[in-house]
A and B are shown apart, each in its own frame.
Chain A
Amino acid sequence: MIGCYHLHMLIPRHGRALLLLFMLSGCAQKLPIDEGRMVIALPGAPVNVDPRVATDAYGEQILQMTHASLVGRDGAGDPLPDLAERWESPDPLTHIFHLRPGLRFHDGRPLTSADVRYTFTWILDGANRSPHRGLYRHLAAIETPDARTVVFRLSEPFAPFLSTMVRGIVPAGSPARGYAPPVGAGPYRIDDLSPDGEAVLSAYDGYYGGPPAIRSVTVKFVPDSNVRFLELKMGSVNFTLNGVDPDLLPAASLAGRLVVEEGPGGNVTYLGFNLRDRALSDARVRRAIALAIDRETIVRTIWKERADIVSSILPPGSWAYDPDLPAVPFAPARARRLLDEAGFPDPDGDGPLPRLRLTYKTSQNEVRRRVATVIQDQLRQIGISVDIQSLEWGTFFSDIKKGNFQMYSLTWVGISDPDIFHHAFHSRSAPPDGANRGGYSDFEVDRLTESARREPSREKRREMYRRVQRILARDLPVFPLWAGRNLLVRDRGLTGFRLTPNESYGPVREMRIVPDPATPSTGGPR
C-alpha cells in the first residue's frame, strides 16, 4: 500500500535534499560523447562472446570489434586481408595464408600460425561441441611450416572456403571460459562484460591497423525499443544500428543531434513451409499463400519503405543473385483459384468457415509479430485461417529445427556465400546437419548445389546458382519476403562509419568524434 503514503513520510528531510541535489546534478552531467566515449545500443545481450562457439548476431557484432580473423569481408561479402596479408590456392585442395608481421594479442602475446591452427583444431575437436564444426568438415590437415604461414589442406574441393575464414583467432591454449571471452587481436579489447548490462571496450594500441581514434566504446544491451529511442534522444546512447523502430525514425530525425543513415541490407526475411504437411506439400497451396501476401503494402506501412522486396533468399547485393527471377505478384483472385484446384474449395462462400487452417510460428519480436498479424489478415481474405503462435525464442527455434511447424518466418543473417543453398535446401541438409527444416527434396537442386561448391570458377558457380534459384522460385519451399535496409541512428559528432549490407560493426575502428559547432556539446538532456 505504498501509494497511500506521501513522499515526505518515506524519505527523511536530509534524504529529500540529497535526492533533489542528485536530480539537479543529473541535469548538468556530461554526456558520453563529451567524454570521448561512444555508446552503442544493441537490442539484446550476446549469448556467447567466444569466436569458436558464438552463433548469435549480438555476440558476432561484439566480436567484429574485438577479434581479428584471417580474412575479413567487404561490403559485397568478398574476402579482404585481415590478419593474413595475402593468400594463395595452388590447387583446389590447398589454401596458404601468410600472416602480417608483428601481430600481437591484447595481452601482448605474439600471434602466430600456431594460434591459427589451435583455433581451428579446437573447433574441429568433437569434445568441444562447437556449433561451427560442420563448417570445417572439409579440413583434412592444418600445417604451420613457419610462424607466419598456415596451410589448410582439404579433403575435397570447397569453393566457399575463404568465406569460412572469418572466424576470430584466439591464443593457443585458450580454454572455453563460459561467458568470459578469450583474448583477441582486434581493434578493441574487452575490459568488462556483464550479460544483463553492458560490455566495456577500450582501444587496443597494438592493433595492426593502428590504434582506433575513439578510445572507449560501451555496448549497452537494451531490449526495449522505446528505451533505446529515449536513450538516443537523451544522449546516453549515441549509436544504434537497426535499433530504432521504423515508425520512430521521423521523431529521431527531429532530435537535433541525431543523424539517420540508410544503406542496403543483406538480411533476408522469408516465410518457411513444412513440406511434410498434407496441405503444404502441394506447391499450389504454397503459391496461393505467396500470391495472397501483399508485400508492397507491408514494406510501405510496416517497414516504412525501409526494405526491398526479393525473390531469393540471397540478398540483392550478392554476386550470385539472379535479378531476372520472376517476382510473385499480389493476386488474391489467382490464389483462390489455386486453392480450388488443390482441393481446398471455400465451404460457405462469404461465410466464416475457412478453406483450411494453418499455424504460423514466430518469435516474440515486436516487428515480426506485426508482420504475422498482417499476413494472418491477408490470408484470411483468401479463406485461410491462421493461428499465430508467438513463442519465446528458445522454444520457437527449437520447434523450427525439429520440424514442429506448418509455417514460420525467420531471417537469414549475414549470408556471404551462395553455398547457403546447399545448407538450406539440399535433401541431406536436415537439422542438425543443415537448415533444410521444411523437408524439401529436389534431385536437380541437390546436384547443382553439390557441383557448385566444388567449382572454382565464380562464373560457372553463378550460372549454377541461378538455375537453383529458378527451381526454388518454381517450387517455393520457402517464400522470400524482403531484405531489410540497414538503418543507422548516430550522434552527429560520431563520423567515419561505413554501413555494410552484413551489418558489420568492424568499421567502428575507423570512426572519430568531431565537435559539432552547431550544437553546444555539453549541458542537459537533449
Chain B
Amino acid sequence: MNEHSGFLVLIRRTARHRGAAVGMVLLALFLLAAVFAPVIAPCDPLAQNLDEGLSGPSVSHWLGQDKFGRDVLSRLIYGARLSLAVGLGTVGISLLIGLAAGSLAGFLGGGVDRIFTGACDILLAFPGILLAIGIAAVRGPSFGNVLFALSVLGWVGYARVIRAQVLSVKTREFVESARAVGSSPARLLLRHILPNAISPILVEATFGIARAIVAEAGLSFLGLGVAPPAASWGSMIGEGRHFLFIAPHLVTAPGAAILLTVMAFNFLGDGLRDALDVRQ
C-alpha cells in the first residue's frame, strides 16, 4: 500500500464516523466560503454606511448591518478567512516547533531530554491565554501578533506528545533492524520513527485548531485580536456585544459560526482518533 492510498484509506475510515462526516462537510463549506469570499460575499465587508448603522436583517442585508452600517453577512464570510487562518496558522507553527523539539528530545534522550522536560514543565506553568493577552496587549492588535501570541506556548503540548511517542517507537524491532543495517540517525528519525509516531499528533492538531479559533475569538473579543477594520468572528462579537440589547443579530451570527466550526473540528478529531486506533 503506498502513502497516497494510505491517506485515502484514512479519509474513508474517518468518514465512516457519522460525526466526523458532518464535521468534514461543515469544514468544507467554511473553507469554500473563506477561499471564495470575494465571489460569495454580497457586499464590500469594509464599506461603511453610518446612517444605516445597527439596522436589522433585510432583503438587501440578510444578517443586518453593524454599527458602521457594514453588511454582517459579508463580514462573516470574510471573517471565516481570518478565523480559519489563525486556527490553521497557529497549529501549523506550533506543530513545526513541537515536532522538532519533541522528536529530538525523545530521540537523543539523556541531558537534552532532561533540559527539554524541565523547560516544558516551566512553560506549562504559565497560563497560556493570560500570556497571550499580555503579548497581544503590549504588541498591539494584528494578525501576526495573534499568531505569535497563540504559538508561543502552543507548541509545548505537541512536543510532549511526540516525545512520548518517539520514546516508545524508537525501541521497536523495526527501528533496531534499521539501525543494524546502518541507517543514519537522521534517517532513523525521519524515515522510520516519526511516520510511526505522528498519528496522535494529527488528532491533537484538530482539537488544537478548534482551541486556537476560540482563543483568537477571545483575544479579538477583548480588542486584542486583528486590527480594525478587518473582520474576524471574535472581533465581530466583541464589537457587537455593546449593542446586545438593541441589535442582538450582531453577535448571534458570528457566535453560531464559531460554535459550528469548533464543533466540526472536534467531530473530525473524534473520527480521526477512531480511524487511527489500531484496535479497530
Contact with B along A162-198 (1 / 0, CB 8 A): 0000000000000000000000000000000000000
**In chain B, residues 235-267, which have Cβ atoms closer than 8 Å to a Cβ of chain A?**
241-246
Bound CA–CA A245/B140 (angstroms): 25
- B238's closest neighbor in chain A, by CB? A366
Contact B140 A389 (CB under 8 A): yes
Residues in B whose Cβ lies below 8 Å from that of A364: 223
Does chain A have a CB within 8 A of B37? Answer: no
Residues in B whose Cβ lies below 8 Å from that of A395: 137-138, 140
Q: Which of B227, B241, B245 contacts A251 (CB 8 A)?
A: B245
**In chain A, residues 389-440, which have Cβ atoms closer than 8 Å to a Cβ of chain B?**
389-392, 395
A227, chain B: closest CB distance, angstroms? 11
- B133's closest neighbor in chain A, by CB? A392
Known: A247-B54, A376-B228, A387-B227. A370 touches B245 (CB 8 A): no
Contact A390 B223 (CB under 8 A): yes
B267, chain A: closest CB distance, angstroms? 16
Known: A301-B50, A392-B138. A225 touches B245 (CB 8 A): no
Tally of A-B residue pairs with Cβ under 8 A? 67
Does chain A have a CB within 8 A of B51? Answer: yes
- A363's closest neighbor in chain B, by CB? B223
- B223's closest neighbor in chain A, by CB? A364
Contact B246 A390 (CB under 8 A): no
Bound CA–CA A376/B48 (angstroms): 11
Does chain B have a CB within 8 A of A248? Answer: yes
- B244's closest neighbor in chain A, by CB? A226
Residues in A whose Cβ lies below 8 Å from that of B245: 226, 229, 248, 251
Bound CA–CA A377/B48 (angstroms): 8
Known: A301-B50, A374-B50, A374-B68. A391 touches B140 (CB 8 A): yes
Contact B242 A390 (CB under 8 A): no
* Chain A binding surface SS class: helix
**In chain A, residues 480-517, which have Cβ atoms closer than 8 Å to a Cβ of chain B?**
none
A485, chain B: closest CB distance, angstroms? 19
A253, chain B: closest CB distance, angstroms? 12
Contact A372 B244 (CB under 8 A): no
Bound CA–CA A145/B228 (angstroms): 61
- A370's closest neighbor in chain B, by CB? B67
Residues in A whose Cβ lies below 8 Å from that of B241: 226
Residues in B whose Cβ lies below 8 Å from that of A226: 241-242, 244-245
Contact B246 A251 (CB under 8 A): yes
**In chain B, residues 47-77, which have Cβ atoms closer than 8 Å to a Cβ of chain A?**
48, 50-51, 53-54, 67-68
Q: Which of A247, A248, A250, A376 contacts B229 (CB 8 A)?
A: A376
Residues in B whose Cβ lies below 8 Å from that of A373: 68, 228-229
Bound CA–CA A51/B46 (angstroms): 46
Contact A366 B227 (CB under 8 A): no
Contact B227 A388 (CB under 8 A): yes
Bound CA–CA A374/B229 (angstroms): 9
Does chain B have a CB within 8 A of A297? Answer: yes
Contact B228 A245 (CB under 8 A): no
B58, chain A: closest CB distance, angstroms? 18
Residues in A whose Cβ lies below 8 Å from that of B246: 247-248, 250-251
Q: Which of B46, B54, B140 contacts A390 (CB 8 A)?
A: B140
Contact B137 A369 (CB under 8 A): no
B195, chain A: closest CB distance, angstroms? 32
Bound CA–CA A226/B68 (angstroms): 19
- B51's closest neighbor in chain A, by CB? A301
A350, chain B: closest CB distance, angstroms? 14
Pairs of residues from A and B, 4 with the lowest C-beta to C-beta distance, nearest first: A301-B50, A392-B137, A389-B140, A373-B228
Q: List 18 A-B contacts (CB under 8 A).
A: A229-B245, A247-B246, A251-B245, A297-B50, A301-B50, A302-B50, A302-B67, A364-B223, A366-B223, A366-B242, A373-B228, A374-B68, A377-B46, A377-B68, A390-B140, A390-B141, A391-B137, A395-B137
Given contacts A373-B229, A374-B68, A377-B46, 20 further A-B contacts (CB under 8 A): A226-B244, A229-B245, A247-B54, A247-B67, A247-B243, A248-B243, A251-B246, A298-B50, A300-B51, A301-B53, A302-B67, A366-B242, A370-B67, A370-B68, A374-B48, A377-B48, A390-B140, A391-B137, A395-B138, A395-B140
